[in-house]
Each structure stands twice: as C-alpha cells, then as structure tokens.
Amino acid sequence: MPESLVSKKLSEQTNEFFDVVFTTNREKDLKYLAVAGRSLLQNCSQPERVRFHILYTLLDEAQIQRINDSWKDLASSVNFYSIENRLGELARDPGYGYWYRIYLGDVLPSSISKALYLDTDVVVHGDIAELWNLQLDGKVAGVVWDPGYRYFGIAEQLQTQARKNALNFPGEGPYFNTGFLLIDLRLWRSRDIPGQVEQHFGDRHQDSVLHDQDELNIILQGQVLALSPTWNLIEPIALIENWDFDIYRDLADPKTYFTPKIRHFSGASKADSALVRSTEKANFYRFLDKTDWAGWRSVSDSKWWAKPLSEMVELHYILVRGLRQRVMTCPLARLRKHLQRAPYTALLYLGLPLYRLYRKIRDHFP
C-alpha cells in the first residue's frame, strides 16, 4: 500500500487513540464501510482520537481511495493492511472474507492493546469513546448476545460442528454476534485465538453455519463479557415480533437498548434493503450522501413501492415495539408523527390481514 494512502503514521503511544478495525474484500461493501466510518466519526465526542485500521484483500488503490475521500473532511487516521500474502490461495476466495477478523491481533502493531472490531454494515448512533472506559474484567472480548440464535435454530448445527472438532457448545447458548467485538488484544494474542481456530477447524471452515462467528463462539466460551444490545442492535423484520428478551434480562432496560448506539444490519437485510424501516433508511442515506457514494440509491429504492413499503414496516415497528411490547419511549408521539408523515399506511396496514386471508383462500382453492 503506498504511503500516500495512509493519512498518519502510527504512534507508539497507542493509549491516546480509539483503535477501530474493519475488514473487507468486496467492492459492493465499500459504501457500507464509508457510512459506518462516517457515522462513527460524526457521533464521537473525540473524533481526533479515532484511528481506523482496515484489513483487506481483492481491492485496488482507486477503491481504497474512495474510502479516504469519504472521510477526509473529518479528523481521523486511516491505515490499510493488505493481508493477501498471509492468506495465500484463500485471499482469492470472496467467501473467506468473514474470517479476516481473527487475524487482527497479528496484523495490528503490537503496541495496540485494545481495539473495537465492527462489521461494515453498521450505522453508529452513539459515542464509541464510552467503550474505552469500559473494563473487560479479564475477558478476551466484550460482546453482544445474538437475538436470532434460538429463533433461527442455530443451536443444533453449532453443536454438531463442535462435536466434529472434538469440542462442545451448550445448546441453550448464549451465542454472540461477531459484528461487534471490543477486544483485549493482549489476551487475544497471548491465547492465540487465530491459532486455536486453525488448530480445531482447519479445512472444516465450510461446516460453519455462520462462518467464523460459530467458531469464535465455540473457542471463546466463558471468555467474553456480555454488553447491552444497544452496542450491537440487530433487528431484521423477522425479529421485531420474535425478539428474544430473555437473554438480555440482566443487562439493560429494553427502553434503553432499542435506541441503539450501534445499529447492525446483519445478514441480507442491509440498510438499503426493501424491508427496512423508513427512518433507518433515511438516516443511512443521510450519511451516504456525505461520502464518495453521494446520490447512490439501491435498486429496490428506485421502485414506486419502496417508500410505502418502508413506511409500512415503520408503522408495524411502532405498533409492536411501542404498543404491544411496551419497550419504546413515547410510542404515541412517534405514532402520531408517523401518521402525519405517511397517513396512507394506516389504510394499507388494516388491509394486510385481508390480503393474507385472500392468499390463503387462493392457495387452498387453486
């Protein structure tokens, strides 16, 4: 990587910085990375202390320059690390990008003792400076339990994978999402986490249901500190009504964590997807339009039905989280504001049960 693409030389006094790590190997993910970094900087009380570290493969200098250009007006340091030589043949496999994060302890300078890893598909709403005052109490990482673990039936596959590798994993979990990892790099290195993953799984990566997330959950059992889901809030539409409240009961009041400090659009439901709430989508594009991807819009958002659909999802969210589950602050005020903005959604929403009934009758009597 040319020196011109590294905005500042790494300092030896790393306790002055908030070190944040991203990984990427696909051009289509760069716009999400641009939003993730920009939203983090704009919401940080001390953006001059933020230092980004990006581990990458399969990207050219022009693509990397677009990331630099997206953040150049904000105070920050950006450092790029090509890891193609380390990975060998695996570097040419786009599907292997999920495992890059396990190597961050080896790639980052040894003087860095604490780092925040984030997936590229996040939008940051809170101040990450708070995390640097958090004590991990001798744990390798601070994590957030995944609310979809039981709903999506991951347990059985994960236990099978563990047994194949002479390991164990409790079926009831808990199971954390690796899109957010607040890592004690001293312990990560001393316990050789990447070495453990390679030792136990080696060529069996293809057995993983959710890539390295499964493997890290197995390896790091009992070595993580659970944090409030406000730091990694995952809410695909399937989990709005089927949220696992039980796994967070000792961590935080739901009325606080449904106002996220980091919103994670995990899986296929990205911030620009069709079934994303209108307020979240507008927030994503607000940040995007301050990056090198300004003006870009997803294919689904170019359709006539895109806005009504996202407004419908917004209404559904308010009704479920606010009125049924009672875990939203000021739900009536939010409902009133929504209906003033998109009054037609009330009629569409009332017609939804009738449409579902029609589909059932049509399928029963073809």
For 43-60, write each residue's pLDDT tens digit: 999 999 999 999 998 889
Residues facing 183 on adjacent strands:
115, 141
Could you tell me the domains of the chain?
3-231 (3.90.550.10), 268-364 (no CATH)
Cis check: omega of the bond before 366, within 30 degrees of 0: no
CA 173 to chain centre: 20
What are the pLDDT digits (tens) for 294-336? 999 999 999 999 999 999 999 999 999 999 999 999 999 999 9
Residue 207 banded pLDDT, cuts 50, 70, 90:
low
Q: Is the dihedral of CA 137, 142, 148, 152 positive or negative?
A: negative
Alpha-carbon distance of 125 to 262, in angstroms, equals 6
pLDDT of 164 above 80? no
Tell me what pLDDT residue 172 has: 73
The residue behind tokens 């080896």 is: 106
Residue with tokens 């059932």: 360
Assign residue 88 a region (left: φ > 0; alpha: ψ between -120 and 50; beta: otherwise).
left
For residue 226, the SS3 value is: strand
The answer to whether 261 and 231 have CB atoms below 8 angstroms apart is yes
Sheet strands (E) in 47-102: 50-56, 77-82
Query: pLDDT confidence of 204, banded at 50, 70, 90?
Result: low
**Mean pLDDT in residue range 275-288:** 97
More confident residue, 42 or 350: 42
pLDDT at 358: 66
Mind listing the pLDDT tens digit for each residue in 246-273? 999 889 889 888 999 999 999 888 999 9
The model's pTM is 0.90
Residue 32: count other Cβ atoms within 10 Å of its Cβ: 24
More confident residue, 154 or 146: 146
pLDDT given at position 97: 60
Helix and strand numbers, DSSP H then E, in the chain: 14, 9
Contacts of 170 (CB under 8 A, 6+ apart): 221
Whether the per-residue pLDDT at 74 is higher than 60: the answer is yes
* Residue 206 in this model has a pLDDT that exceeds 60: no
Structure confidence at residue 203 as a pLDDT band (50, 70, 90): low
Nearest to 78 by CA among 27, 25, 36, 123: 36
Residue 47 confidence (pLDDT):
94
